[in-house]
Amino acid sequence: GAVVSQHPSWVICKSGTSVKIECRSLDFQATTMFWYRQFPKQSLMLMATSNEGSKATYEQGVEKDKFLINHASLTLSTLTVTSAHPEDSSFYICSARGQKAEQFFGPGTRLTVL
């Protein structure tokens, strides 16, 4: 159990375009999902907390207008990187929280902005 999927697994886009990444909890309902970003050889950095039916809570330094998060159902959260630039290139990972403190992670999405 506790399977989380992400789509797409990788995406290449031109600078200035927007990219949407989907995160789904496949076998459980997740009232809370999280979005992380990881740079090479670095730790996972929490970007925002996504609660079903309400606005996301962003960490300090994360632009909410640039990284739009929608959590419309108990099994789906989306992250849209708007007007992407090369510095937004990164590995984006979502997670869904289980009954305790455990978070179960998706496989990640590699974004490359040309």
Partner 1 sequence: DQQVKQNSPSLSVQEGRISILNCDYTNSMFDYFLWYKKYPAEGPTFLISISSIKDKNEDGRFTVFLNKSAKHLSLHIVPSQPGDSAVYFCAASFRGKLIFGQGTELSVKP
Secondary structure letter of residue 40 according to DSSP = T
| Burial class of residue 74, CB neighbours in 10 A (0-12, 13-18, 19+) | middle
Binding site for partner 1 (CB under 8 A): 2, 4, 6, 32, 34, 42-46, 49, 91, 93, 95, 97, 100-108, 110
Question: Looking at beta carbons only, is 49 or 82 nearer to partner 1?
Answer: 49
Question: Looking at beta carbons only, is 6 or 78 nearer to partner 1?
Answer: 6
Residue 100 CA from chain centroid, whole number:
21
In the complex, least distance from residue 83 CB atom to partner 1, rounded to whole angstroms: 25
How far, in Å, CA of 51 to CA of 72, rounded? 9
Residue 87 dihedral angles phi and psi, to the nearest 5°: -70, -10
In the complex, least distance from residue 102 CB atom to partner 1, rounded to whole angstroms: 5
Question: Looking at beta carbons only, is 3 or 72 nearer to partner 1?
Answer: 3
In the complex, least distance from residue 20 CB atom to partner 1, rounded to whole angstroms: 18
CB atoms closer than 10 angstroms to residue 80? 15
In the complex, least distance from residue 100 CB atom to partner 1, rounded to whole angstroms: 7
